[in-house]
Structure 1
Amino acid sequence: MAHGAGLHTALDTSGFLGVRATDALLRDADLVLLDIKSWDRETYRKVTGRPLRPTLDFAQRLADLGKEVHLRFVLVPGLTDARENIEGVAAFAGSLGNVSRVDVLPFHKLGEAKWQALDMNFTLHDTPVADGGADGRGEGDFRGAGTDGGLTPVDLVRPNDRYDITG
């Protein structure tokens, strides 16, 4: 229906429930926006409360289907910014063959008020806001990953970036 109206469709997911996505759903999606929070399994569980394996399995399923993926990775100071962690996500993304873009996103606290409104503990309250990757951390690791000599383009998204969504 969306394609008939000339609309591009995207599935935005952490991949954890990807096993529930039917082949028909995935056929109808033009693009999958996939978040991989961490390569380190303990850090992933700490951040999400869930195991990493279902996300990796879903990413591999998307690769097997040839479904285009834009991968997103958040740099959280002191949590996900270890070189081994970044290199692990980058190598995995590069091995898939269907990742056409990587967004390295700086950690921010814009959702903290939502946690407070729900009377929930925002466990990252004391975590410093990322500097937007001004030093290039993460970006180079993704550029050099993959069997084809690198994932491109890699966008290092900075907090003050503006996007034109009308074009």
Structure 2
Amino acid sequence: MTATFETSTSCVVAPDGINGEYEPVPEDAVPRVRRSAGTAGIATAPVMTHAEHVAAVRAGDIGSMHSWELVTAVDGPGTRLTVFLAGCPLRCLYCHNPDTLKMKDGEPVALADLLARVRRYLPVFRATGGGLTVSGGEPLMQPAFLGRLLRGAREMGVHTTIDTSGFLGAHASEALLDDVDLVLLDIKSGLPETYQATTGRALEPTLDFSRRLADRGTEMWIRFVLVPGLTDAPENVDAVADHVATLATVSRVEVLPFHNMGRDKWERLGMAYELGDTPAPSAALVERVRGQFRARGLSVY
């Protein structure tokens, strides 16, 4: 999962903190920062034995969820119900939600209850051209639950999006991908050694997944987090841009300037935050990187 850190002129729909209802916030007052309702309004799964719980997880009846939010112009077109699932195989140095990394730390929620929340916002989705986005953590950590959630949303006529690093792309069956309208694919580096340093994992699975999505005709928005001293090297950006330019179904690239707003969470969790002294990228650096993508004929935001 990535976050956007710039000021937006879009209207965010934010929780009132009392009963889970939402109301518009003035456009000029809203930064593009996530406002989470936690799991408020979605019942946790009923108490069951360990064996029953394992069986329900394997069947996709229960998922481990961190939070949800309703937000505009961040996680896909229109107003989105974004669901954050718990668990991620990557350990990105700039992760702004380290509390989503472990699946066991999420809340067990029933598929039926989450789909009821999706159904509640059908009028909003229809009015704005929005839909459901499943993020994390890493949603492909829970492919059974994710697949059934996407299928249920599509049966309601809801536009579906997944926000993924692509590292677990092999977990996505063709049937699951048939129920995905848009993939927000985080390509965190173009050079294998930089990807390893940034995430603790290998780059190739993400590249393989991107090629698979392009081959099957799935629309992608590419996200690249620009971190000074880590991902900003011209050759690293060129490698990302060169790869993305080969993917026929990429409709936009988002260059997301780094911000260390997640530092406090790392400290509360007793985790060492290595980027504490890293500044946000300058406007000149952001423009240089965006220019590298534009030079390949890509639409950049």
Structure-1-length-normalised TM-score? 0.85
- Distance change in 2, residues 1:89/1:62 (3 Å): same
One-letter amino acid matched to 2:168: L
One-letter amino acid matched to 1:151: L
Q: Which ranges in structure 1 are unaligned for 5 or more consecutive residues? A: 156-167
Task: Please tell me whether residue 84 in structure 1 is matched to residue 235 in structure 2.
Answer: yes
From 269, 272, 284, the equivalent of 1:118 is: 269
> Per-residue deviation at 1:24?
1.0
From 286, 289, 292, the equivalent of 1:138 is: 289
- Distance change in 2, residues 1:45/1:114 (3 Å): same
> Per-residue deviation at 1:3?
2.5
> Per-residue deviation at 1:34?
0.4
SS in 2 for 1:61: helix
Partner of 1:8: 159
Q: Distance in 1 between matches of 2:191 and 2:234?
A: 11
- Distance change in 2, residues 1:74/1:135 (3 Å): closer
One-letter amino acid matched to 1:13: T
From 215, 233, 248, the equivalent of 1:64 is: 215
One-letter amino acid matched to 1:113: D
> Per-residue deviation at 1:127?
1.1
Displaced runs of 4+ in structure 1, greater than 6 A? none
Partner of 2:245: 94
Task: Please tell me whether residue 21 in structure 1 is matched to residue 168 in structure 2.
Answer: no
Structure-2-length-normalised TM-score? 0.48
Q: How many residues align?
A: 150
Rg larger in structure = 2
> Per-residue deviation at 1:6?
2.9
> Per-residue deviation at 1:133?
5.4
Q: Which ranges in structure 2 are unaligned for 5 or more consecutive residues? A: 1-151
Percent of counterpart pairs with the same letter?
56
The higher relative CO (CA closer than 8 Å, separation ≥ 6) is in 1
- Distance change in 2, residues 1:133/1:28 (3 Å): farther
- Distance change in 2, residues 1:134/1:83 (3 Å): closer
What's the C-alpha RMSD, in Å, of the aligned pairs?
1.3
